[in-house]
């Protein structure tokens, strides 16, 4: 279960990620980019090349968890976050395809 608060930070990886990666592969990518942040309650968002699959890696009190959604049609909308490494959202509009 995603426990999102007003203090949650979301790190969006702007380059497409190979969705064959599992929990360990995604954690390695996140650690490479955001050293020391993995167990602080942040969310790491990975999107496939075609923007039909999204995986979110997060720490769930006693271990890592991955939330995964694959659209049957349409594509995920991605916010333009420029050079910022992370962004905050109070809702999950990102996860709803337009």
pLDDT by 10-residue block (mean), the chain, 98 residues: 70 87 91 78 89 92 90 86 52 44
Does any domain span residue 32?
yes
Q: What pLDDT, on the 0 to 100 scale, is given for residue 5?
A: 66
4 in any annotated domain: no
User: Which DSSP category does 70 fall into?
Assistant: E
Q: What is the pLDDT of residue 6?
A: 65
Q: In this structure, is residue 33 part of a structural domain? A: yes
Answer whether residue 5 is part of any domain.
no
Q: How far is CA 73 from the centre of its chain?
A: 20
Distances from the Cα of 7 to the Cα of 16, 21, 46, 75, 88, angstroms: 26, 28, 20, 27, 8
Complete edge-to-edge strand list for the sheet that includes strand 53-59? 10-12, 43-47, 53-59, 64-70
pLDDT of residue 79: 72
Instruction: Supply the pLDDT for residue 96.
Output: 44
pTM above 0.85, yes or no: no
Gap between the Cα atoms of 20 and 41, Å rounded? 24
Q: Count how many domains the chain has.
A: 1
Domain that includes residue 45, residue range: 10-95
């Amino acid at each position: 279960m995603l426990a999102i608060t007003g203090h949650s930070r979301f790190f969006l990886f702007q380059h497409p990620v190979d969705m064959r990666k599992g929990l360990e592969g995604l954690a390695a990518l996140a650690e490479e980019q955001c050293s020391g942040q993995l167990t602080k309650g942040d969310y790491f968002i990975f999107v496939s090349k075609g923007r039909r699959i999204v995986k979110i890696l997060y720490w769930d009190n006693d271990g890592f968890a991955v939330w995964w959604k694959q659209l049957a049609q349409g594509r995920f909308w991605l916010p333009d976050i420029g050079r910022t490494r992370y962004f905050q959202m109070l809702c999950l509009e990102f996860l709803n395809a337009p």
